[in-house]
């Protein structure tokens, strides 16, 4: 079975500063990796996904993530955040061996301050 660890529960950051959200996964098989964002009182929205190919994945709203197989990591980055990026971010993993069911991390709350 797969599992996900998000290493930071809360990340405060100033507007226009860079941000990195850390995600590590454990799995004995090939995996697919995802980042979702949840704005206050809303559902989850897909930011980006890694299925195969290039290890650097670009998503919506200027976010990108890098898949590192040797370190079993999939960290999310944005070079310059906006107030509107205040949200909770979830890393998730799935695999064919588990019928592609998503397993989520506990989430990282990003608070952007002016």
Partner 1 sequence: NAGVTQTPKFQVLKTGQSMTLQCAQDMNHNSMYWYRQDPGMGLRLIYYSASEGTTDKGEVPNGYNVSRLNKREFSLRLESAAPSQTSVYFCASSETGTGAFANYGYTFGSGTRLTVV
Is 32 one of the binding residues for partner 1 (CB under 8 A)?
yes
Residues with Cβ within 8 Å of residue 1, at least 6 apart in sequence: 27, 98, 103
Q: Which of 17, 29, 83, 106 binds partner 1 (CB under 8 A)?
A: 106
C-beta neighbour count of 58 within 10 angstroms: 10
Is 63 one of the binding residues for partner 1 (CB under 8 A)?
no
3-class DSSP assignment, residue 99: coil
Is 96 one of the binding residues for partner 1 (CB under 8 A)?
yes
Output the six-digit token pair for 29.
């098989």
The span of 16-24, 36-44, 66-74, 78-86 binding partner 1 (CB under 8 A) equals: 36-44
Is 67 one of the binding residues for partner 1 (CB under 8 A)?
no
Q: Which of 25, 34, 67, 74 binds partner 1 (CB under 8 A)?
A: 34
Is 60 one of the binding residues for partner 1 (CB under 8 A)?
no
Residues with Cβ within 8 Å of residue 31, at least 6 apart in sequence: 2, 25, 93, 94, 95
Distance separating alpha carbons of residues 113 and 57, to the nearest angstrom = 26
Residues within the interface to partner 1 (CB under 8 A): 4, 6, 9, 32, 34, 36, 42-46, 49, 51, 90, 94, 96, 99-107
């Amino acid at each position: 079975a797969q599992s996900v660890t998000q290493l930071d529960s809360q990340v405060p950051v100033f507007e226009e500063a860079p941000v990195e959200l850390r995600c590590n996964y454990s799995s004995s098989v090939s995996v697919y990796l995802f980042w979702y964002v949840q704005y206050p009182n809303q559902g989850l929205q897909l930011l980006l996904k890694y299925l195969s190919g290039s290890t650097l994945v670009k998503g919506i709203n200027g976010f990108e993530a890098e898949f590192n197989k040797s370190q079993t990591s999939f960290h999310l980055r944005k070079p310059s955040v906006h107030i509107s990026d205040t949200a909770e971010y979830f890393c998730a993993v799935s695999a064919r061996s588990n019928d592609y069911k998503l397993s989520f991390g506990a989430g990282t709350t990003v608070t952007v301050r002016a």
